[in-house]
Amino acid sequence: MILVTGGAGFIGSNFVLDWLAHVGEPVVNLDALTYAGNLRNLEPLRHDTRHTFVRGDICDRMLIDRLLADHRPRAIVHLAAESHVDRSIQGPSAFIRTNIEGTFALLEAARAYWSRLPEHEQRLFRFHHVSTDEVYGSLDPDASPFTERHAYEPNSPYAASKAASDHLVRAWYHTYGLPVVTTNCSNNYGPLHFPEKLIPLMIVRALAGKPLPVYGDGLQVRDWLYVKDHCSAIREVLARGSAGETYNIGGRNEQTNIDIVRHICALLDELRPDPSGPYARLITHVADRPGHDRRYAIDAGKIERELGWRPTETFETGLRKTVQWYLANAEWVADVQSGAYRDWLAANYAGRGDHTA
Ligand code: NAD
Ligand code: TYD
């Protein structure tokens, strides 16, 4: 079996569902259920005996020791994190705790467990650390996309905390020989995405007839990947990636934020026309994010060449599926919005100089 951390979050729940559908190997899913963790995401697994959910904190070393001893996983897929840049600007301490101290606790527990495994199991064991392209910092408009050899230049507290965790993972390989792999992925989108992030936020707000808050000029560029394609890449790296290696994952799909928002509006105009007029009328430019990275872009050549991985969705097909998912799952959205999400919205958009909250 495998141990997944953060498996009730956006990518984690997509990964657990995808893993059980494609691989079928049992999963122990450790998640603290912060505001971003949602057990409802795992509803299809309610009666699936291959899935064991454990509510707990990755900083809790005793709990992790016990889970490893009881379940004897052959791999750990580490997704648990604080993941939202704007939240990291408002309050970085949770990011330092979970992303750095939590990864440290998990590495130490994994090392103790791994060092006691029989030799053949030691060779096969993997600690798969799921990270982000944001550790590389911002690219100039004409610069080449990030390769695995790009210098780390994190700019937000979130990116800095993920960079620190990547360094710890690297050190545990070089110093202790723990067989780790790290993947640095670009921006994900798709079903079950918490509506604080750009794409689900815009869909949900447009449907509610609320202003669509584009930070600054909206010409910042991100490289977007459909979440299921990220899940398939993690599966490939876990199956065939080499210990000690890092792999960049991305969709070769650079988009400006404003183009994405317009694209979402056009899809909604087609799928759920608003009698009051085109959704693009709701687009509002608001104060920019401090230290806002201008451009991210991933060179996915290594994982494509070495592991033969390719994304299956284009941005056109992936975004259409995503909008359709949110239209079909209004109850999921309502559930999420009735929680801490509302307080968070008020805090983030207060003082940005318009009426977005
Ligand atoms: P998310 O915020 O949706 O989910 C994070 C999950 O981790 C939640 O279920 C939360 O309850 C859990 N968690 C938080 N703190 C915890 C703790 N101390 N102990 C146990 N569980 C805890 O995040 P996501 O978007 O699904 O991202 C998952 C991982 O992928 C993160 O490591 C993130 O850095 C990375 N990543 C995300 C993206 C993206 O676009 N979302 C892109 C590249 C990499
Ligand atoms: P986000 O989804 O927060 O991901 P990240 O910051 O990790 O890339 O934001 C994606 C882009 O969208 C980023 O450039 C910030 C921008 N953005 C807005 O313009 N308005 C918003 O309300 C949000 C949440 C993000």
Q: Whose CA is nearest to atom 17 of ligand 1?
A: 57
Structure tokens of 69?
A: 């001893």
Is 236 inside any structural domain? yes
295 lines ligand 2 (CB under 6 A): no
Mean pLDDT confidence for 311-336? 96
Residue whose entry in the numeric block shows the structure tokens 């983030």: 348
Question: Between the CA of residue 25 and those of 74, 117, 344, 354, what are the distances in Å?
Answer: 11, 20, 37, 49
Instruction: Give the global pTM.
Output: 0.96
Is 348 inside any structural domain? no
Confidence of residue 301 (pLDDT cuts 50, 70, 90): very high
Is 237 inside any structural domain? yes
How many residues are given for the chain? Answer: 357
Nearest Cα neighbor of 194 from 6, 4, 9 is 9
Kindly report the backbone phi and psi dihedral angles of residue 246, in degrees, each rounded to the nearest multiple of 5, phi listed first: -120, 150
Nearest Cα neighbor of 223 from 258, 172, 185 is 185
Q: Judge whether 236 counts as a catalytic residue.
A: no
128 torsion bin: left (phi>0), alpha (psi -120 to 50), beta (else): beta
Nearest Cα neighbor of 214 from 204, 232, 233, 201 is 201
Ligand nearest to the CA of 198: 2
Is pLDDT at 341 greater than 80 in this prediction? no
Is pLDDT at 345 greater than 90 in this prediction? no
Q: Judge whether 134 counts as a catalytic residue.
A: yes
Is 162 inside any structural domain? yes
Q: Note the pLDDT tens digit of each residue in 22-71.
A: 999 999 999 999 999 999 999 999 999 999 999 999 999 999 999 999 99
Nearest Cα neighbor of 231 from 53, 7, 50, 51 is 7
Structure tokens of 168?
A: 């710890």
Is 211 inside any structural domain? no
CB atoms within 10 A of CB 198: 22
Structure tokens of 293?
A: 């990275």
Is pLDDT at 15 greater than 80 in this prediction? yes
Is 322 inside any structural domain? no
Q: Note the pLDDT tens digit of each residue in 119-175.
A: 999 999 999 999 999 999 999 999 999 999 999 999 999 999 999 999 999 999 999
Q: Note the pLDDT tens digit of each residue in 247-291.
A: 999 999 999 999 999 999 999 999 999 999 999 999 999 999 999
Rounded Cα distance, 77 and 288, in Å: 34
Name the domain count of the chain. 1
Is 345 inside any structural domain? no
Is pLDDT at 337 greater than 80 in this prediction? yes
Is pLDDT at 349 greater than 70 in this prediction? no
Rounded Cα distance, 239 and 342, in Å: 40
Rounded Cα distance, 123 and 207, in Å: 51
The rounded Å distance from CA 198 to ligand 1 centre is 16
260 lines ligand 2 (CB under 6 A): no
Which residues have any ligand 1 atom within 6 Å of their CB? Answer: 5-6, 8-12, 31-34, 36-37, 57-59, 79-83, 98, 102, 130-132, 162, 185, 187-188, 194
Nearest Cα neighbor of 146 from 68, 239, 254 is 254
Q: What was the pLDDT predicted at 357?
A: 36
Q: 3-class DSSP state for residue 66?
A: helix
Q: Whose CA is nearest to atom 3 of ligand 2?
A: 197
187 lines ligand 2 (CB under 6 A): yes
Q: Note the pLDDT tens digit of each residue in 201-250.
A: 999 999 999 999 999 999 999 999 999 999 999 999 999 999 999 999 99
Q: What was the pLDDT predicted at 346?
A: 65
CATH code assigned at 67: 3.40.50.720
87 lines ligand 2 (CB under 6 A): no
Do 144 and 163 form a contact (C-beta atoms < 8 A)? no
Domain that holds residue 242: 2-189+224-252+293-312
**Vertex 242: Cα angle to 240 and 248 (nearest 5):** 85
Is 112 inside any structural domain? yes
